[in-house]
A and B are shown apart, each in its own frame.
Chain A
Amino acid sequence: MGAGKTTAIGAVSEIGVVSTDVKNSDLAQSQKATTTVAMDYGQITLDGGDQLRIYGTPGQERFDFMWKILSRGALGLIILLDNTRPSPLLDLNKFLDGFAPLIAETGAVVGVSNKPGGPSIDAYYEVLAARNMMLPLFEVDVRKKDDVLLLVDALLSVLEIR
């Protein structure tokens, strides 16, 4: 929650983003004013002219049924993590578990918010190494279109070499 999924899709989408944000009542989890409760949807056009549909899921586990729904037919997964959350390494493990079938079948990349104060990038790599999952991992600012496109390009590269 609060990693910037809605912001990221908004940064790159060529269409107005379909958003299902409502008022956040769980201020203990996050101070964000709003939270996504169903999905975000955006589109970008790839170099070859193909259209890529991008879906953002809610991050909280109580919406994990949306993870299952949105995983169906997905090309791959981008995991976005907020480095300032209380336990971002646990968050990473949670998403690796929650999206395990999709990751096994397709591929994934990880983006970590480049905000100071949280675990080092090495700590994230250690989590991946412990699970024998050497996924591409980048520090990103999801407000920047180029950073988000980097994640998309990385995912497409991962999918190409599988």
Chain B
Amino acid sequence: MDTQKNKAVAAVCQEYLDKLHADHKGILAALIASADGFHLAAIQSVIGEERLAAMSSSMHALGTEIVNEAKLKKCYDVVIEAAEGKVLMLNVPFADEDLIMTVVANEAMVFGHLLFSCRQTAERISEKLAAMMRGS
């Protein structure tokens, strides 16, 4: 992907992450990363975004591999439940290699609500990016 397109993709991702964060104060960190662990967009992070992007890529890849071996077709999300919050890594369908959206939330966030909002955000990003690619 050329630099111009990269910037446009990053801008779309950032816009939706900002909105997700504005709507949910319990979100401690969020980012969108490429499958090989480079962040395209991020909001405030309790972990550095470069590190979180790389770790998300590893976790998602391992989740994908387990799903493949268990013959469960496709890995959508990886969920980490912690003593004081949760981490979600979701698939964002895009072009020939999906992006990964990672959200870190504190324990105040109800899991179902968090999952619903994150999935909705991921879908909207995917649709907007697809429309953008069709238009170019």
- Could you tell me the distance between the alpha carbons of A26 and B6 in the complex, rounded to whole angstroms? 13
User: What is the number of residues of chain B that contact chain A, defined by CB distance less than 8 Å?
Assistant: 20
Contact B97–A62 (Cβ < 8 Å): no
Contact between chains at B55 and A65 (CB < 8 Å): yes
Contacts of B29-62 to chain A: CB distance below 8 A: 34-38, 50-51, 54-55, 57-59, 61-62
Which one, A26, A37, A62, A65, contacts B61 given CB within 8 A? Answer: A37
Does B84 sit within 8 A of A, measured CB to CB?
Answer: no
CB B62 to nearest CB in A, in angstroms, measures 5
Listed residue (A25, A35, A39, A58) with the most chain B CB atoms within 10 angstroms of its CB: A25
Give A1-51 interface residues, CB cut-off 8 Å to B. 18-20, 22-26, 35, 37-39
Closest Cβ neighbor of B59 among chain A residues: A38
| A37 in contact with B65 given A22-B97, A62-B50, A66-B58 (CB within 8 Å) | no
Given the complex of chains A and B, what is the CA–CA distance between A22 and B69 in angstroms? 16
The smallest C-beta distance from B61 to any residue of chain A, in angstroms, reads 4
Which residue of chain A is the closest to B38 with respect to CB atoms?
A25
B64 CB contacts on chain A under 8 angstroms: 20
Q: Are A37 and B37 in touch, CB under 8 angstroms?
A: yes
**Bitwise interface map of A from 47 to 62 toward B, beta carbon under 8 Å scored 1, else 0:** 0000000000010001
CB nearest to A69 among chain B residues: B58
A37 B51 Cβ-Cβ under 8 A: no
30 contacts across the A-B interface (CB closer than 8 A): A18-B69, A19-B65, A20-B62, A20-B65, A22-B61, A22-B97, A23-B35, A25-B1, A25-B35, A25-B36, A25-B38, A25-B97, A26-B36, A35-B36, A37-B36, A37-B37, A37-B57, A37-B58, A37-B61, A38-B59, A38-B61, A38-B62, A39-B58, A58-B58, A62-B50, A62-B54, A63-B58, A65-B51, A65-B55, A66-B58
Besides the contacts A37-B57, A38-B59, what 6 more A-B pairs have beta carbons closer than 8 Å?
Answer: A18-B65, A23-B97, A26-B38, A37-B61, A38-B62, A62-B51
Which residues of B does A touch, CB under 8 Å? 1, 34-38, 50-51, 54-55, 57-59, 61-62, 64-65, 69, 96-97
